[in-house]
Structure 1
Amino acid sequence: MGCTASTRRAGWGSLVFDVSGYGGVSLDVQSSEVFTVGAYDWQIRFYEEGVFGHSGGYVAVYLFLVSKKAKVRATFELSLVDITGSTPPRTMRTVDAEFDSGDRTCFGHPEFMRKSELEASPYLRGDRLTIECAITICKEAPVSSKSFAEVPPSDITDHLRKLWQGKEGSDVTFEVQGEAFPAHKTVLAMRSPVFKAELYGALRENDMGRVIIGDMQPAVFEALLHFIYTDSLPTMDDLYQDQDEYKEIIGHLLVAADRYAMERLKIICESILCKNIDVKTVVTTLALADQHHCNKLTDACIEFIASLGKVDDIIASQGYAELKRTCPLALLELWEKATRLYMI
C-alpha cells in the first residue's frame, strides 16, 4: 500500500492511493497516508467488504477529514484508475460536502463499485488497485459550539433516476431501432427546448404517445435519457466494451446533444473527445467538431495534428479515406482551416 501526492495549488490537491492485497485475508479497511489540502488533513479509506453491514457485494471508498476542530465545505472526486492508461477512470463526484470534525467527519460511496465488476475490470491488476482523490476547498467556516441539525445534500437526481428506471407515470414511449424507451414528457420538456417544441409546441403531432427515432443508436438514446434524468453520464462500464466503442458513442452523444439543444451535455462530450484524440480518428473528429461548432474540439484536433510533425499516418487512416471518399470538398475545407489556424 502506497501513496503519491500530486501537484497542489491553493485550495486544491489530490492523492494517488495504491491498495494492495485485494482478495486476500482482508482487513476491514485500508487507509491512505494523511495528506494536506487547503490547510486541512485528509485520509482515503477503502473498504473491500463494504460498510454498515449491508454492502450488497460492493466495495466502498470514503474521504475523511482528520483535522481536529475543523469545519469545511469541499467538492471531491474519487476515481478508480487503470495504471496502464488504456481505460478511462471510473469517477464518483461529491459536490459541496460539509465536513465537520465534531459531527460529520466523512463522505463517500458505500456502493462505489460492485465487487464482481471490479474483479473483471482492468482497474484490478493482480491484487492491486489505484484510487485517486481530488479535493477542491469551497468554503471554510469556524466550528460553532452550538449543535444544529445537518441539512443533507440534494437528492433530487436520485428521485428522478428512480422515476425513470421505475417507468411509473410515463406518458411517452420512444422507439429506437426496435427498442422501446418510456419517458415523461414534462421532464423532457424541462431539460430540452427541442423536446418541449416537439411534445407541446404548435407543430406537434396529434398522437405523441409514441415517437419513432430512426437515426440514432439505442445505446446513445439511453445515455441521452440517463443524462436528462440524472444530469450525469452513465458509468463507463455501461457505455462501452472497448476504448474505440466508448469514443464512438460519446461522438454520437455529442450529435444528439446538439440536436436537442442540450448545451451542458454537448460541452461534457466535447471535453471527453478532446482528451481521447488519436491518429485513427482525428480527421473524423475534426469534421464532427466543425459540423457541430465545437471550437475547443477543433483546436484540440489541430494541435494534435501539428504535434505529430507529419501527416502521413493521418492520411493513411481509415477515417481519412472514408471522408475523402464521401465528402472530398469538406475534407479540403477542413485541411485549409487547420492550416490557417496552425499558421496563426
Structure 2
Amino acid sequence: MPKINSNSIGSEEVMTTSVKSNEISFTWVIHNFSAWLAQVKGNQMSFKFPSGRDDQWYLQIDPDSLKDKTHCGVYVRSTKEQGKFTARCELFLTNSAGFVFKRVQLQGNIKWNDGLGYDDFINVKTLPEKIKSDGTLLIKCKITSNAVILNELRQGSFRQLLEPRPSSLSTDLKTLFEGDQLTDVTVLIQGQRISAHKCILSARSSVFAAMFHHQLKESIENCVTIDDVEPDVFTEMLRYIYTDELTGLDKMANKLYTVADKYALETMKSRCRYHILEKLNLETAAETLVLADLHADPELKQHALKFLCESV
C-alpha cells in the first residue's frame, strides 16, 4: 500500500452536479364542508401557493361535476404562463383527525392554466360519513415538477488523508448472534437449545440483567428455560438484541410485540407497535385492541379505537 503524506497540502477545483426536485405541499382546510358546498356557486379556488414565487399553483373545486350532481371535481392548476412542463401530483382527502380516505397520484404534461384532477373526486353522498366528527374536510396536495440541474464549482485546499474505515460493530455482533463463539448461557425452548451471551442480553434487557445479576437458578446453572415463547419468536428477539434488526414483522408482529414487552425491550416494542398500526385494517383492529389491553398500552389502544370508530 502506498504511503500517504499527511503533511502534503494542495489545491483543487471541484465541480458538483446535483438534481433538485421542485416539491411543494399545500393543504386546504374547509370547516363545515357540506354547509359551505351548499352556499357556493361556480368554481372555487384556493389561495395561490407557494407564496412569493412567480410559478405558483392553486387548488380548484368544481361543485358542479361534469359527470353528475353527486360529485365534486378537484383539480391542481398551474399559473405558469409559458411552455409545457411535466408534473406529478398526489391528492389526498382526510378528516380533521388525519385519517386518509382517498388518495390518488396524477402525472402529465402541463400547459399554462392547465391542471391535473378528476371530475368525480369528491363523492358528496358518502363524504358526510367520513367527516362526521366535526364536518371538516382537508384537501392536501404534494406536487413535484420539473427537476432542476445545479452545477457548482468550488475551490479550496485539501490535506491528503486516509479515509477512516466504517464501523463494523453491527457486523461483528451479527457474527456473534449467528455463531456459538464464547457463549455462556443456554436457553431451552420447546426442546430447542439456543446459545447466547449474558453480557449482551443484560446490556439490552433489564429483565435479563436482573435474572443474571442475582443468585437465581438461571445464573448459577447458566441455563434458562422459557415455556411461553415460541423458538422462532425468541430467535427473532435475539436477532434484534444483537443487531437492532427486525426481520419477522410481516409474519409475527403481534408475537414480537408481546415478547418485547415481556423482556422490557422498549425500542423493539415501539417498532412493533408502529408496524401493527401501519398495517391496521378491519380484520386486525379487534385483535389489536385486545393486544393493547393485555399489555396496558394506551397509545396502541387509542389508535385502534379511533380506527374502529372512524370505520363504522
TM-score (norm 1): 0.44
Larger strand percent: 2
Larger helix percent: 1
TM-score (norm 2): 0.48
Which one scores higher on RCO, CA 8 angstroms, separation ≥ 6? 2
Structure with larger Rg = 2
